[in-house]
Structure 1
Amino acid sequence: MFRRRTILLLTLVLLIVFFITTNYLLITLSIENEIGSKSVEEFIYQKLEELPDHYKLLPSQYNNEIPESFESFKISSNITNKIDIIWKIANSWTNNTKLIDIKSKYVGDILLMLQRGKIIKADIDSRGTQLKLLLTLQGNQEVIFKPKWYDRNKIIDGPVYAGKDRYNSEIVAFYLSVILNKPLCPISIERKLSLKNEILPVATKRLLNTALIENNRSCLYGKCFYCNINDPICDDDNSSLLGAVIINFKANLVNHRSPWQRTYKKGKNALWQEFPDNYCNIVGQKISRKRLYDLIDISLFDFIIQNGDRHHYETLDDTVLWLDNGKGLGNPYKHHIDILAPLYQCCILRKSTLKTLLSLTGGRLTKKLKKMPGINNLITSEHLKAMEDRLLLIFATIEYCKDKNLL
């Protein structure tokens, strides 16, 4: 009798253990299947819905040293008497921490010279894939001119790297680098010039060889990978052409292929897309920790403006510079989360970067951008809202990393 009860009791215990174990395995497998079926993007958007309020409120507890605007940069009335000095000062700023001294009293003078300085020579800038001019201003300062191809309201459909360079993206990127307390973009501003009256009279022979007349307007098609005689840039009916003028600073830069480069081939993924879980470890074995932090910083910057064309990058004394930002501001209604791959694959972030980002919550990013010179000509309210939304998506990605116990 005792033996029979013992057997029944053991059987009951085994059944209970079986049911508990089975239930646990079913729940665990269900969770794992749910995780496996969700993309990183879906998790980030889920975190966005759950985002704590401190990511959204005006940052009264955060203070940074970024100037509120350029209003304090006084433009000298006697600038023509000190052109050489102005350019000497501008070039003296270049080092591995900044390309512009944002606190200098000469910033306004330099902006004015970039915008109005007399053009004494015009040539082709054959670097890169798109039409650019290499201009020499009075005082022998070289600058790059990127022309306007699209109206600022134009929405670029397709992949994140679609379309031609947007001149306004270069200027807004410069402003954003200042706001992020990372002045690693070359100083840039909008300029209106005339191909007929300012460029062609001082053009080199090779530039003149690409000049033509269309509908009584002066045009150039330049020389570059995508340059084509059937697709020139032209003066408008008032013999003027808008674009971005960017200072061509002098420094010994080293060019590198980005670890997060795209394949630019439909249906073909890069290694970082094929092996996302272990990719950061692979990258970390090839570059320094500082470089990795730099690449994460620039990915946040690229994400805010939606520049998904960072196939290469340049370094100055081992610091990653924020150059060539013309593919931003393409579509304010699309957020390409994979630009943040360096952040969500590595899940590391400088404390100083996080502090700066937190100082821009509650609409402060827009407030700072709106105080920049000529901003209303460069960006739409839709793009400003999109940049605010992307800032929150960066915070959601940080929360995603925290859930993984990696940040």
Structure 2
Amino acid sequence: MYVELLVNGKLTHERHDTFMVLTQSELLSTMIRKMVRYVKILTVVALPVILVFTIVNVLLLSRLGHHSHETTLILKEKIYNKGSDGSSSKDAAAAIQRGLHAGAGPEFAAGHAKVEEERARERSADGETSKRRKEADDAPGANIVRDDRVEMKDQSIDAMIQKLKSSSSVLYFFPSFFWNLTMAEMTRKLGAVSRRSASTLEGYDSIKQKPDDPPLPHWKLVHRNIRRFSLYDPDDPNLEALMSDLRNLPITETEENEGGTQFKLNVRFSDGGRAVIKFMRYPREVEASENHYIFDDIERHVAEIAAFQLDKVLGFYRVPPTTGRKFNITSELKPIAPDSMYKTLFYSPAGNLCFFGKCDYYCNSAHAFCGHPDVIEGSVMSYLPSRNIATRKSWYQPWRRSYSKFRKAYWETNDDLCDKVRQDDPYNNGKILLDMIDSHTFDFLSGNKDRHSFATFKEWGNYTFPIMYDNGRGFGRQTYDAMSILAPLTQCCIIRKSTLLKYLKLYMGPERLSSLMEDALKPDPVAPVLIRPHLNALDRRLIKILQAVAKCIEEKGVSEVVQSDKF
């Protein structure tokens, strides 16, 4: 039959079309029947639930007030309010008041009491905040709200102080001037003769200034005063002049700094001086992630600024002069920017001018440096003398980290590294080892775990000081103290006498390290450089340094732990 129908094409088509129509009709009928069945089931099950829910809500609304359209929840003694018009907690309190007038029960009265209590706390907190802000604004240069300070009191440290006062093995540990001088006066007095009588760099000694030559720029004068035991003299008038130049002189040239893992800019000023700029990436309140390894952490411009002032307050004089500065990206940097920076300029969705440059880490639009709208903060660190004048030698840092996710450094799992280090150059003369311990206590105060190497001026061999540049990974966390930074102190159990005197001076007061740092940073163009929690952390960490020294003295005695300055 199929063949016959195929020959009669017309019949075939007619019968085929009829078959298709019947099939579609059957499918449609089946679907309609299923839908009707589902609707019946939903009607039977859902409608009673909806009806009950509606009745309950109507009853509740009638109890709470006919005109209220807000919902106020009291959960765990906190009030959460959501109004359909975005109303506030004050509106919620008014709604509860209306509920009371409508005859609400005791539970609702308790809710009203909670609201009134919450409002009273808000008013009290607002008043206290306003008072603190006014006090901060009235204080000269104050722009940091003062929180609770660290209590400078520790039993083990007090016991150590008594031992130092009475110990016959260290005659006159506390010099007579210790009790009468300020911290600034004491740091200038300790080792002053040795520092100022020490030799200067030979490269500058050989360059003679002729009478008809123009005056030397401030940066050259500061460089000429670099000595065997100090990078700068805190009382050199040219130092403050150099700081002013770093903040104000026009920039004439720029180039990308190819060293390091993150973008930095080398610049030349109109007086020929040079500097390294690190730009602001995150606000001061943003802390380093606890899940980041040190090599993943972001560098902070404020850490560089604060490190110089901390170095000066503590009287180490090893950090290159560094200050903050605000730059206009459009007018100051863009016209002379290197290609690696210029090609990455873009406007953010907020309309701010941004860039990210070229580097190994974090050089992408997600980690860009952005102005507001085109003004950005940065740290400006003065260059060290040219290598033509003074060659530098880079030394391996024994207590450097492994910079690996999968293994620890030797000193992190063994306590005998100091015994090995004492036999090796440059630490075998005693002085550089004490300098290294100074450096680690300095880094502990700022929280910088990135001291992987250090440099000295080659002409002075290993009897000189370590240059403490590259401090950008400090001041990253406010409440965490990286005790591992103190490994050289705790493993060697020695400390320079003058360093211990300085730390004890700050512990015994009346001056605090946090207050001295706050005052030192106030004049900076990007102040406040450090927020209050970071300032408080300085005092807390100072106590922990002294606790470590006290433990060493308890175990080994004063004469073995406290070492002469060796300069």
Scaled by the length of structure 2, what TM-score is found? Answer: 0.57
Cα distance in 2 between the residues matched to 1:209 and 1:238? 19
Q: Provide the secondary structure at the position in 1 that maps to 2:354.
A: strand
Match of 2:466 in 1: 320
Q: Residues 86 and 205 (structure 1 numbering): CA distance in 2 closer, same or farther, change over 3 Å? A: same
Listed as ranges, the gaps of 5+ residues in structure 2 are 1-152, 163-176, 188-213, 562-567
Cα distance in 2 between the residues matched to 1:210 and 1:88? 34
Verify the 8 A CA contact 1:171 1:190 in the aligned structure 2: yes
Q: Residues 212 and 238 (structure 1 numbering): CA distance in 2 closer, same or farther, change over 3 Å? A: closer
Verify the 8 A CA contact 1:190 1:242 in the aligned structure 2: yes
Alignment map for 1:94-113 (pairs within 5 Å): 94-113=226-245
2:359 aligned with 1:224, yes or no?
Answer: yes
Q: Which has the higher contact order (CA 8 A, sep 6+)?
A: 1
Q: CA deviation at 1:210?
A: 4.2
Instruction: Tell me which of 66, 77, 80 is aligned to 2:184.
Output: 66
Verify the 8 A CA contact 2:218 2:239 in the aligned structure 1: no
Supply the AA of the counterpart residue of 1:153.
E
Match of 1:115 in 2: 247
Quick check: which one's helix share is greater?
2
Match of 1:6 in 2: none
Supply the AA of the counterpart residue of 2:156.
E
Q: Residues 350 and 201 (structure 1 numbering): CA distance in 2 closer, same or farther, change over 3 Å? A: same
Cα distance in 2 between the residues matched to 1:213 and 1:87? 36
2:391 aligned with 1:252, yes or no?
Answer: yes
Match of 2:206 in 1: none
Listed as ranges, the gaps of 5+ residues in structure 1 are 1-46, 70-81
Instruction: Tell me which of 431, 446, 450 is aligned to 1:309.
Output: 450
Match of 2:482 in 1: 336
2:417 aligned with 1:279, yes or no?
Answer: yes
**CA deviations over 1:279-320 (Å, ceiling 9, x no partner):** 100111113211111110100100011101111111223321
- Mean alpha-carbon deviation: is it higher for 147-156 or for 206-215? 206-215
Q: Residues 137 and 99 (structure 1 numbering): CA distance in 2 closer, same or farther, change over 3 Å? A: same
Verify the 8 A CA contact 1:212 1:218 in the aligned structure 2: yes
Match of 1:265 in 2: 404
Verify the 8 A CA contact 2:345 2:356 in the aligned structure 1: yes
Verify the 8 A CA contact 1:194 1:239 in the aligned structure 2: yes
**CA deviations over 1:106-147 (Å, ceiling 9, x no partner):** 333221111111010111011111110001111111111001
C-alpha RMSD of the superposition: 2.6
Q: Provide the secondary structure at the position in 1 that maps to 2:217.
A: helix
Cα distance in 1 between the residues matched to 2:221 and 2:384? 11
Verify the 8 A CA contact 1:255 1:313 in the aligned structure 2: yes
Cα distance in 1 between the residues matched to 2:274 and 2:331? 19
Cα distance in 1 between the residues matched to 2:178 and 2:225? 32
Verify the 8 A CA contact 2:262 2:363 in the aligned structure 1: no
Verify the 8 A CA contact 1:194 1:235 in the aligned structure 2: no
Cα distance in 1 between the residues matched to 2:554 and 2:321? 39
Cα distance in 1 between the residues matched to 2:480 and 2:258? 31
**CA deviations over 1:210-247 (Å, ceiling 9, x no partner):** 44444454333223221523345344233101010110
Match of 2:207 in 1: none
2:155 aligned with 1:155, yes or no?
Answer: no
Match of 1:183 in 2: 317
Cα distance in 2 between the residues matched to 1:237 and 1:392? 39
Supply the AA of the counterpart residue of 2:411.
W
2:519 aligned with 1:371, yes or no?
Answer: yes
Q: CA deviation at 1:378?
A: 0.7
Equivalenced residues, count: 346
Q: CA deviation at 1:366?
A: 2.0
Q: Provide the secondary structure at the position in 2 that maps to 1:299.
A: helix
- Mean alpha-carbon deviation: is it higher for 95-104 or for 179-188? 95-104
Q: Provide the secondary structure at the position in 1 that maps to 2:491.
A: helix
Q: Residues 134 and 382 (structure 1 numbering): CA distance in 2 closer, same or farther, change over 3 Å? A: same
Cα distance in 2 between the residues matched to 1:348 and 1:173? 24
Cα distance in 2 between the residues matched to 1:404 and 1:392? 18
Match of 1:22 in 2: none
Supply the AA of the counterpart residue of 1:385.
N
Q: Residues 343 and 68 (structure 1 numbering): CA distance in 2 closer, same or farther, change over 3 Å? A: closer
Verify the 8 A CA contact 1:366 1:388 in the aligned structure 2: yes
Scaled by the length of structure 1, what TM-score is found? Answer: 0.78
Match of 2:368 in 1: 233
Q: Provide the secondary structure at the position in 1 that maps to 2:550.
A: helix
**CA deviations over 1:336-395 (Å, ceiling 9, x no partner):** 111000001001111111112122223421222122143651111111111101111111
Verify the 8 A CA contact 1:293 1:348 in the aligned structure 2: yes
Supply the AA of the counterpart residue of 1:301.
F
Supply the AA of the counterpart residue of 2:220.
K
Verify the 8 A CA contact 1:131 1:221 in the aligned structure 2: yes
Cα distance in 2 between the residues matched to 1:83 and 1:144? 24
Match of 2:132 in 1: none
Cα distance in 1 between the residues matched to 2:157 and 2:185? 29
Q: Provide the secondary structure at the position in 1 that maps to 2:495.
A: coil
Match of 2:546 in 1: 395
Cα distance in 2 between the residues matched to 1:182 and 1:290? 14
Q: Provide the secondary structure at the position in 1 that maps to 2:184.
A: coil
Cα distance in 1 between the residues matched to 2:226 and 2:272? 17
Cα distance in 2 between the residues matched to 1:53 and 1:402? 10
- Mean alpha-carbon deviation: is it higher for 211-220 or for 377-386? 211-220
Which one has the largest radius of gyration?
2
Cα distance in 1 between the residues matched to 2:293 and 2:179? 36
Cα distance in 1 between the residues matched to 2:467 and 2:490? 21
Q: Provide the secondary structure at the position in 2 that maps to 1:360.
A: helix
Cα distance in 2 between the residues matched to 1:84 and 1:223? 35
Cα distance in 1 between the residues matched to 2:225 and 2:354? 35
Instruction: Tell me which of 199, 219, 223 is aligned to 1:87.
Output: 219
Cα distance in 1 between the residues matched to 2:302 and 2:313? 16
**CA deviations over 1:15-65 (Å, ceiling 9, x no partner):** xxxxxxxxxxxxxxxxxxxxxxxxxxxxxxxx9553317869xx9716367
Q: Residues 220 and 90 (structure 1 numbering): CA distance in 2 closer, same or farther, change over 3 Å? A: farther
